[in-house]
Chain A
Amino acid sequence: MEWLRHAGIAYRLRWKRRRLLFRAWRKRHQLRPVADRTGTIAPETILGAVTVRNEMMRLPYFLEHHRKLGVGHFLIVDNASDDGTAAYLADQPDVSLWSTTHSYKLSRFGMDWLTWLQICHAHGHWCLTLDADEIFIYPYHDTRPLRALTEWLDANDRPSFGALMLDMYPKGRLQDHPYRPGDNPFGALCWFDAGNYMIQKKPDLHNLWIQGGPRARRFFADRPRRAPTMGKMPLVKWNRRFAYVSSTHSLLPRRLNRVYCEEGGERLSGILLHTKFLNVVIEKSAEEKTRREHFENSDLYEAYYDSLIANPDLWCEGSTRFTSWRQLEAMGLMSRGEWV
C-alpha cells in the first residue's frame, strides 16, 4: 500500500503545482511593464528574477555582482518602491522592469508575479531567482563564470542547484556600520555562523528543511520551529511548468528538490550570502512590522521585529570571519562535489 500513498502524494502535488501556475496566471494583470527589454534575451542567456521594494541601498552591488558572474538579463518586479528604485532599474540596459502596488503577501511573497514572468520569459533558460539581499556564490565563482556552472549542470543532468543562505553580520551593533550603495557589503558584514545548522528532510516535497544561523541563535532560541528556513534552490533550468512553492525553499515538481546526496557523497552546492543585516535593516524592520507583509502569521514574528529594531549585536565568540569561498567549502557549508 506504500506505493498507493506515494502515488497519492504525487497526484496531490501535481494539482498543487497546477494551482500555483493558475494563481500566477490570474495575477498577471497586477504587473505593469515599465521597461520591457525581454526582446534582447538570447537563447543562452542566464536570467535573474527578483522582486524588490525600496532596495536602492543594495541593488547597485547586487546587480554588479551577478552581472560579473554572468547573469545576462534581470526580470525585476518593483513592489511600490518610493526611494527611486524603479527609476534606477528602468535605466539599466539589462533589466526588464515591471511594477505593481498589490500585496506582496497575497502574491506569495512575490512568487506569483515571478512565476508569471518565468512562464513568459524563462522557459528553457537557466534562471537565478533571488531576493535583493542575496548574493549568490558557488565553488570557483571567482574564476569560473556562471555559464561554466550551468553547462556542467546540464552535462550532469541536474536541472536545479541548491544553496545555503548564510546570514552575514557585522561585529558590534548593526547600526554602527555605515554603508554606501555600491560598496562591497562584506567589508562590514564579514561574520557568520559556521556550524549550528539543523536539517530535516520534508516528507512530502523531499527538500531539506535547514534552520540555524544567527537568527535562530538569537531570536528563536526559545521556539526553534519558527526559526527562518535557510535552504534554497535559487538556480533552476526553468520550464514553464515549474513553480516555486514557498519562496525559493522548495520547488515543484519535487524531483527538483533533490539537490543533495543521500548515499553518503557530497553534491556540488553553493551559498547565498545574505546582506539582510546592513544598517538599513532596523528602519526596514520597523516598516515591515507595521506592513505585516513578510510572514504568513505576522503576529508570531512581532518579537523578532522588536529585537531587530533594538539594534542588536549578532556577533559572538563562536562567530567565524569570512575570507573566501574556499573557507566555506572547507567548513562544509557548501561543497565542490565532483567539480574539480
Chain B
Amino acid sequence: MSVGIIMLVHTAFDRAEQVARHWAASGCPIVIHADKSVPMKTYNAFVKALSDLPDVRFSKRHRCEWGTWGLVAATQSAAQIMLDEFRDVRHVYLASGSCLPLRPVQELIDYLADRPQTDFIESATTADVPWTIGGLDHERFTLRFPFSWRKNRFLFDRYVALQRRLGLKRRIPNGIVPHMGSQWWCLTRQTLSAILSDPDRPEYDRYFRHVWIPDESYFQTLARQYSLQIESRSLTLSKFDYQGKPHIFYDDHLQLLRRSDCFVARKIWPFANRLYDAFLTDGAAAMKRTEPNPGKIDRIFAKAVERRTRGRPGLYMQSRFPVEGRENGLTCARYSVFEGFGDLFENFDSWLARATGARVHGHLFAPDRAEFSDGQTVMNGALSDSAKLRDYNPRAFFASLIWNTRGERQCFQMGPRDHIKTIEWDIAKDPNAQISVITGAWAVPLFKSNQNFGDIRQEAARLQQIESKHLEVLRSPWAKARIRIWTMAEFIEAPMEPLQTIIDEIGQQNMRGLSEVPKMADLSGFGQFLQNLKNQGMHPYLMGDFPVAHGPHEPQQNKPKPYLVQ
C-alpha cells in the first residue's frame, strides 16, 4: 500500500521537479497536472526532465484560473489516472508545485497506513465558519459566476448584484449540503473513486461548474456523501492573510515550519533555497511520530491580521495614518492630565512623582517650551521641547510623547496659560486620558503675583474666558476621557478624597493610602482678592464660592488626617 501524490503545477518547474523526485524517492507514484497556459516548450522540457522516473504520469491539461472549475477538472483527471494506473495506492494526496514536504515522506506513509479508512479533508458548512472573504458565503452555492473575479471584477460584482435584485437562486442538486474548506486534501481510494464514479456525477459537475471557487467546495461537499470517516482538517499547512491570499514561506520561516510538525506546507517561495535544502535532504531528520500541530504557529499569523486590519493603537507613521474616527485609540496608553493642581499646591509635581512612580511633566503645552520632567530638553525618541516644533503639529507631538514612553505612565499639567486650543479636543476625546480639573485655580498665581491690579484684572478675565471655553469642551457629549471637575472652593474643602481617588486610579504602587500630602499654597486673603476683582467689575466665578473673610476655608496644612493610616 502506498500514497499517491497529485501535483498541480503552473510555475517554478525546477522546484516542482525537485519535490517530485523527493516524493518518488520514497516510492510514491505521482500524477502531475500542468496548467494549460504553460507554454508547450516549458512543459515538454519539464516532462522530459522527469522521464527517468517510472511512476510519474502526466494528466490531460486544463486551464486553471483561480476560483474557476478548471482546478477541479484538473484534479479529477489526475485522480482518475492515479486510481486506474496505480492499483495499490490507498491514499491520494493532493498537492501543488509549491508544496514542500516538511517531514520524511515515510512518516506520512506510516501515518496514513495507521488510519486506512480516514479521509483528511477540511470540510465545514458555510453557516459555521467565518472564512469567506468578500461577503459571499452561502451565495457562492446559489448564484452563478460566469465572470472572472480577478480579471473582470466589475462584471462579477454587477452580475452578483443583478441576481440578488432579481432574486435568482440555483437549485442545489439532490439536496446535498454544501461544505467548504482547504483545497488541499488527502482522500482514500474508496472515497475518491466513489466521487469520481458516482452516477450523478454529471449533474454535480454541471452544478459546481458555476459555483464560485469550486476547488474549495467540490470534493469537500461530495466527500461527505461517501466517506466512512472524515477528519475535517488538512494535512497541508497553509495560511491565509486577511484577504484570503495564501501566505508565502521564506527562508526565515525554517524554524516556524519545523515547529508546526505538519507533513506538507504551501506556499513556498521558489527561491527559498534554505527551505528546500533543509527539508528535501531528510536523511538527518529524526523520525518524530508526532501529530501535526499547525495551531502552534497560529499566533504569528493572527497577529499579522491584527496588525494589518487594526494596527498598533496610538501609532502614527508612514504606513498607518488613520482618518478621524478610525484610529482605534488616539494614543497607545493611559495618561493623566492635571489642571489647576500645580497652581493650588506648591510641590504638586514632586509629590505626584513620589506618590505614583509615574513620569510627571510640567506644563507640556506651556507657551515658551514643553516642560518635560526633570527639566529635560529632549525626551525619549528625541522629542524636542521646542514650542515651535510642538505647536507646528501638537497632535503629532503628543501622540509621539505617549508612544515613545510606552510602559511608563505619563502625567502632566495643563491650564489656561498654555497653548491648549489645538490639542484640547484631542485629549478630551481620548478614552486613555484621565483629566482632573480644579477650576479657577489659575487665580492663585495671580493672587501671589506682584503685578499692578489693572493687569491682574485683565489677565484674570482672559484666563477665565479660556478656561470656561475649555470646560465646555470637557463637558461636551463627544468627550470620552475620564474627566473630573471640581471648583477650587469645593476642592479645598476636602482635598484628600479626590487626590486619593485619582492616585488609586493611576494605581501603580500605592495600595496603602497616601502617606504624604502635597503642600497647599497659603490662601489667606484669597477671598478678599476675589472680592477686589469683583469690585473692579470682573466676576471670577470658576473658583466657586469663597467668602471674603477666611475661616472655614482655611487650608488644613500639616494636620494629620484620621483616615490616613500609614
A: residues with CB less than 8 A from B are 140, 143-145, 147-148, 151-152, 155-156, 162-164, 193-201, 208, 210, 214, 216-217, 221-225, 231, 259-269, 316-320, 332-340
Contacts and interface: CB of A to CB of B under 8 A. Distances in A.
A143 B251 contact: yes
A269 B315 CA distance: 14
B250 A335 contact: no
Given A195-B403, A198-B397, A333-B317, A338 B384 contact: no
Nearest to B405: A195
A43 B376 CA distance: 55
Interface stretch (B115-123, B318-326, B440-448, B503-511): B318-326
A301 to B, nearest CB: 17
A318 B318 contact: no
Interface in B535-550: none
Contact of B321 (A155, A224, A262): A262
Most B C-beta atoms less than 10 A away, residue of A260, A262, A318: A318
Nearest to A193: B382
B304 A336 contact: yes
Interface in B479-498: none
Interface string B146-166: 000000000000000000000
B381 A320 contact: yes
B289 interface: no
A319 B376 CA distance: 13
B229 interface: no
Contacts of A340: 239, 241, 247, 300-301, 304
29 contacts: A156-B243, A198-B392, A214-B382, A217-B378, A217-B389, A221-B384, A224-B393, A225-B392, A260-B320, A261-B319, A262-B321, A262-B322, A264-B309, A264-B322, A264-B326, A264-B327, A265-B311, A266-B311, A267-B319, A318-B378, A318-B380, A320-B381, A332-B315, A333-B318, A334-B319, A337-B307, A338-B241, A338-B242, A338-B307
Contact of B308 (A198, A210, A320, A338): A338
B400 A337 contact: no
B271 interface: yes
Contacts of B271: 145, 147-148
Nearest to B386: A221
Given A216-B389, A217-B384, A266-B319, 5 more contacts: A151-B269, A156-B245, A199-B321, A260-B321, A318-B382
Contacts of A263: 309, 322-323, 326
A198 B316 CA distance: 9
Top 10 closest pairs, chain A to chain B, by CB:
A195-B381, A269-B319, A224-B392, A193-B382, A338-B308, A195-B404, A318-B382, A198-B393, A318-B378, A143-B252
B305 interface: yes
Nearest to A213: B382
A268 B305 CA distance: 12
A140 B252 contact: yes
Contacts of B305: 338
Contacts of B396: 197-199
Contact of A264 (B247, B248, B252, B311): B311
Nearest to A155: B245
B201 interface: no
A340 B252 CA distance: 10
Interface string B222-261: 0000000000000000010111010110111000000000
B311 A196 contact: no
B11 to A, nearest CB: 11
Interface residues of B, number: 53
A260 B307 contact: no
B386 to A, nearest CB: 4
A210 B318 contact: yes
B318 A163 contact: yes
A208 B323 CA distance: 12
Contacts of B383: 195-196, 318
Given A162-B318, A335-B320, A265 B307 contact: yes
Contacts of B384: 196, 217, 221
A195 B382 contact: yes
B26 interface: no
Contacts of B379: 318
Contacts, number: 180
A177 B435 CA distance: 48
Contacts of A195: 380-383, 400, 403-404
A336 B400 contact: no
Contacts of A224: 388-389, 392-393
A194 B311 contact: no
A151 B247 CA distance: 12
Contacts of A197: 317, 396, 400
A194 B404 CA distance: 8
A336 B381 CA distance: 21
Nearest to A225: B392
Contact of A199 (B239, B250, B316): B316
B467 to A, nearest CB: 28
B293 interface: no
Contacts of A316: 377-378, 382
B317 A265 contact: no
B318 A164 contact: yes
A41 B173 CA distance: 55
Contacts of B326: 262-264
Contacts of A156: 243, 245
Contacts of B252: 140, 143-144
Contact of B381 (A143, A151, A196): A196
B37 interface: no
A151 B270 CA distance: 11
A316 B386 CA distance: 14
A200 B393 CA distance: 9
B97 to A, nearest CB: 16
Contact of B318 (A155, A260, A262, A264): A260
Contacts of A320: 381-382
B381 A208 contact: no
A19 B397 CA distance: 38
B312 A266 contact: yes
Contacts of B311: 261, 264-266, 335
Contacts of A319: 382
Contacts of A152: 248
A231 B382 CA distance: 18
B400 A222 contact: no
Contacts of B309: 263-265
B328 interface: yes
Contacts of B301: 340
B382 A196 contact: yes
B322 A261 contact: yes
A190 to B, nearest CB: 14
A259 B319 contact: yes
B169 interface: no
Contacts of A259: 318-319
B310 interface: yes
B318 A148 contact: no
Contacts of A266: 307-308, 311-312, 315, 317, 319-320
B251 A318 contact: no
A174 to B, nearest CB: 17
Contacts of B243: 156
